[in-house]
Amino acid sequence: MRILVTGGAGFIGSHFVRSYADAAETTVLDKLTYAGNRANLAPVQDRITFVLGDICDAELLGKVVPGHDLVVNFAAESHVDRSITAAGEFVRSNVLGVETLLRACLDAGTPRIVHVSTDEVYGSIDTGSWDETAPLSPNSPYAAAKAGGDLIALAYARTHHLPVSITRCGNNYGPYQYPEKVIPLFVTRLLDGRNVPLYGDGGNVRDWIHVDDHCRAVRLVAERGEPGEVYHVAGTTELTNLELTARLLAALGADWRRVERVPDRKGHDRRYSLADGRLRALGYAPRIPFERGLAETVRWYATHRSWWEPLPERVP
Ligand code: NAD
């Protein structure tokens, strides 16, 4: 079995590679943007082939993609805040990149492809949960670009019978996440005795999932999912940002004096929520309770300063 993992040096992609590198011959193709980090692959570096490259580079993909039994695409610009200030790279990597990669898979006759996406493509939902047939209604440039990539993937499945499935997941947390996203940002700042910025009224709700559960879901969809279908990977714990902040403060022995209220993110979606019945019908169930996963994650950042301290700070 030969697997190509695009975006495999990022947070989720590298977890996938570290988890499954022993089970398959693995190639990682990654552009190493600010979010990509070879150190994320250090534990498996002797067991994988790393290719520095861009999923928008058709010529390179024409050489790299053939011969793989499975392609899993994690490559994307992934931070909503950055898409608000500069969306161009998001459109390039998350839409054009997906199309270029899928075209290469089509040309190579790749037997199985999973394209990794997000709950944010649906917009915001006050109550209830989306199922896989809900209309796409993205609000941020990040979500709009991800929706564009998803639609290209579905079009390739429909038009060319490309065996691609899509996974859409809620908010991930875990080790090796770039400290621009809220959990590692707050944890690393609190570890340094600094204040943390809380958007708006703190009432935005996110459904959290440990990165390991997400990666098991992606693997299951690769093995047992239907081509042309979308699979939701729901989180295990819905929390407002205020509730999340309270847990992080408690975990790090800090109090609310460390929290600075900052103006809300532009267009900030209030709540996301996925119904994951289709994935559960394949036998999936999350394994990592939020309390345990969060405690382990906090411990990881506390004991891995050498991983995050050199990373440039990218948030105010
Ligand atoms: P990340 O930003 O940590 O990693 C993205 C990786 O993709 C980086 O290694 C980067 O160098 C690489 N990359 C970016 N553009 C590229 C390009 N054009 N060619 C090749 N490589 C490129 O992101 P993440 O949090 O690991 O997210 C991975 C995927 O999962 C993304 O598609 C994201 O939309 C999706 N997702 C993330 C979450 C989350 O909570 N983080 C939730 C649901 C879905």
CA of 255 to the centre of ligand 1 (A): 32
120 is catalytic: yes
Q: Quick one: which of 259, 171, 231 has its CA closest to 207? A: 171
Q: Which CATH class is domain 174-206+237-266+289-308?
A: alpha beta
Q: Which CATH class is domain 2-172+211-233?
A: alpha beta
pLDDT exceeds cutoff 60 at 203: yes
107 is catalytic: no
Burial of 60: CB neighbours in 10 Å, binned 0-12, 13-18, 19+ = middle
- pLDDT, residue 281, reads 98
The answer to whether the CB of 218 falls within 8 A of the CB of 264 is: no
Q: Does 115 sit in the ligand 1 pocket, CB within 6 Å?
A: no
Burial of 79: CB neighbours in 10 Å, binned 0-12, 13-18, 19+ = middle
Q: CA angle, corner 21, sides to 51 and 79, nearest 5? A: 60
CA of 296 to the centre of ligand 1 (A): 22
Q: Summarize pLDDT for 58-96 with one digit per residue, the tens.
A: 999 999 999 999 999 999 999 999 999 999 999 999 999
Best mutation site among 74, 81, 146, 236 for ligand 1, i.e. most ligand atoms within 8 A of its Cβ? 74
Q: Rounded distance, CA 44 to CA 52, Å? A: 16
**Residue 124 DSSP code:** -
Q: Does 3 sit in the ligand 1 pocket, CB within 6 Å?
A: no
Give the tokens for residue 60. Answer: 């390179």
Q: Does 210 sit in the ligand 1 pocket, CB within 6 Å?
A: no
- Is residue 168 within a helix (H) or strand (E), and if so which, with residue range? strand 164-169
- pLDDT, residue 312, reads 87
CA of 108 to the centre of ligand 1 (A): 24
**From 30, 54, 77, 120, active-site residue:** 120
Give the tokens for residue 302. Answer: 């506390």
**Please, which residues have CB within 8 angstroms of residue 226's CB and are 6 or more apart in sequence?**
165
Annotated domain spans of the chain: 2-172+211-233, 174-206+237-266+289-308
Q: Summarize pLDDT for 247-270 with one digit per residue, the tens.
A: 999 999 999 999 999 999 999 999
CA of 36 to the centre of ligand 1 (A): 8
Mean pLDDT value across residues 8-14: 98
Burial of 237: CB neighbours in 10 Å, binned 0-12, 13-18, 19+ = buried
Q: Summarize pLDDT for 126-166 with one digit per residue, the tens.
A: 999 999 999 999 999 999 999 999 999 999 999 999 999 99
- pLDDT, residue 316, reads 52
**From 54, 77, 99, 142, active-site residue:** 142
Return the axis-axis angle of helices 211-224 and 11-20, rounded to nearest 10°.
Answer: 60
119 is catalytic: yes
